[in-house]
Amino acid sequence: MAFWWTLIVLGFAYAICRLLLMLIPPNVPSIEVDASDVMDDGNQTQENSYIYIPPRTKTQQQDKRVQCYEPATMKYLGYFPALSRDEVKERVASARKAQKEWAKSSFKQRRLLLRILLKYIIENQELICEISSRDTGKTIVDANMGEVMATCEKITWLLSEGEKWLKPESRSCGRATLHKKARVEFHPLGVVGAIVPWNYPFHNIFNPVLAAVFAGNGIVVKVSEHASWSGCFYVRIIHAALAAVGAPESLVDVITGFAETGEALVSSVDKMIFVGSTGVGRMIMKSAAETLIPVTLELGGKDAFIVCEDIDLDHVVDIALRASITSSGHNCTGAERFYVHKNIYSSFVDKISERVKDITVGPPSAGKYDMGAICTQEQSEKLQSLVNDALDRGAKIVARGTFGHLPEGAVDQYFPPTVIVDVNHTMKLMQEEAFGPILPIMKFSTDGEAVKLANDSRFGLGCAVFSGSQDRARNIAWQIHSGSVAINDFATNYLCQSLPFGGVKESGFGRFAGVEGLRACCLVKAVVEDRWWPFLYTKHPKLLTYPVADNAFEFQMSLVEATYGLNIWHRLTALVNVLKMLSEHNTLTRNNPNINGRRKRND
């Protein structure tokens, strides 16, 4: 009894000590990042004070500049260079040189880097969100939820579990190599390349950077030409943190440009991560095939949102709006196809229509709008063409949001949230990625029909299933072919950073986040060594040494059955046969020492 009381007291003391340690704030250095040139204080120079009118055709490296402007107001923000192939290769070479030193860094140093970044992010949330809002048109609330929160979660997961999953991992040796020890080691790949889109400018940079650097790599990120202004500020945060831990700034780089810049990056790095459209993803794969580097592709999506009749309707409507209509929805591949059970179809449409009519679209800087701008003029035109195609095929618009006070030059950058009914899968709206605040709703009668509709897509990124019965929701979700699924919620998979994220079909392949994403930034090396060296090691029987004995194949067959046979008696019989052949061969060798493993033949 005294023994158990001792254990209880020790366990209680340990818990108290852990609690006290949690109350002691960690000693994390602070960093300063110059933000004077990105603060909207009304004192911009004359060069950066005018309204920008984007050209109707893509410049694609013509003037060697990436022009930056606020999509919500069309206010000009300046420009960054469109880097040439040689310039990209120079940046990658610098990152490669820095990586050779960083690969030797300890996990303690890497964790300190992450803690410094986390501290800065938490203390400067408003600045980070305002910059994201200005560069993409999203509201600062959505910038915080979709970017700051997700990034903090990723850092926290890496701090908690990252080292554990990158340490050598023991593996079983199997029957044939019981005298061996086996393990898997995870080594840095070198320099990772990433091409990321505009929709989450802060998180899209930090997401690949955090995993790559924690795994010991360098990384070069090409940001979208539509979010270069924010990306070139965000990398200052990373550089300041690197300097604080004594690492070279060139370990992480952000580059700007168009297609030529991206192509040069793919041909220069040791692994490629791409987040974007399916069409460009195919081109990335084609380029990567030239150097045979691994590729992770997170491409388009057409996520299904399935609503059964046994749910809390008001709750689901609220989630549906967040998933597809508000800024966090239209700035990403959110829910784009809604399938609602016929018994609640009318009620769902009525409730969501009422909510959409109350949504106002306007400049997010005003702080009173539910939605900001679509980032590009071309995207608004594409959304309208999808709506027009649906209307031509019999669909109906039942609700649209309203516009606030829009700047005269920015009207084409906005698209009102739109609810559409009487849709079907012959319409482009139900087959092509919309990437906008459109909510098309279809009805279904049975769970099987809902599954069939959800799987009728060339995409397979994510989906959501809502039902009052969790077993029913699980059964539906199990049948849907997608990379992730949320039951009675939407997109919370991504906030759970222990989970891998990625898609199937034309939504891409490979994963980032979680153990799978972290290890995808590594060279996975298999290692085998002797367990009891030098006392026991691999030594082939003399029957199998060259020149092999006449009965070598018979011996090998018996050895296989003795090792792997399904019936214990057959295995024992085979083992006896193995021992018998070894004994006979040893006797023959002793009597004929010049034979050397093969019976002497007559000429």
Residue ranges in the chain modelled with pLDDT below 50: 42-46, 597-603
Q: What is the CATH number of domain 104-166+188-300+502-523?
A: 3.40.605.10
DSSP 578: H
The structural domains of the chain, with segments of one domain joined by +, span 104-166+188-300+502-523, 303-458+462-497, 539-591
Measure the CA–CA gap between 287 and 265, rounded to whole angstroms. 10
Residue 571 Cα to chain centre, angstroms: 48
Q: What pLDDT is stored for residue 600 in this prediction?
A: 44
Which tokens is 306 given? 């399935």
Measure the CA–CA gap between 321 and 438, rounded to whole angstroms. 10
Identify the CATH homologous superfamily for domain 303-458+462-497.
Answer: Aldehyde Dehydrogenase; Chain A, domain 2 (3.40.309.10)
What is the C-alpha end-to-end distance of the chain, expressed in Å?
A: 83
Yes or no: say if 478 and 321 are a contact pair by the CB < 8 Å rule: no
Q: What pLDDT is stored for residue 280 in this prediction?
A: 96
Phi and psi, residue 266, nearest 5°: -60, -40
Q: What pLDDT is stored for residue 48 in this prediction?
A: 57
Extract the runs of DSSP E, i.e. beta strands, from 401-550: 402-403, 418-421, 438-444, 459-460, 463-466, 486-487, 504-505, 508-509, 522-530
Catalytic annotation present for 298: yes
Measure the CA–CA gap between 57 and 274, rounded to whole angstroms. 24
Q: Considering 130, 147, 263, 298, which one is annotated as catalytic?
A: 298
Q: What pLDDT is stored for residue 591 in this prediction?
A: 76
pLDDT tens track for 375-419: 888 888 899 999 999 999 999 999 999 988 887 767 778 899 999
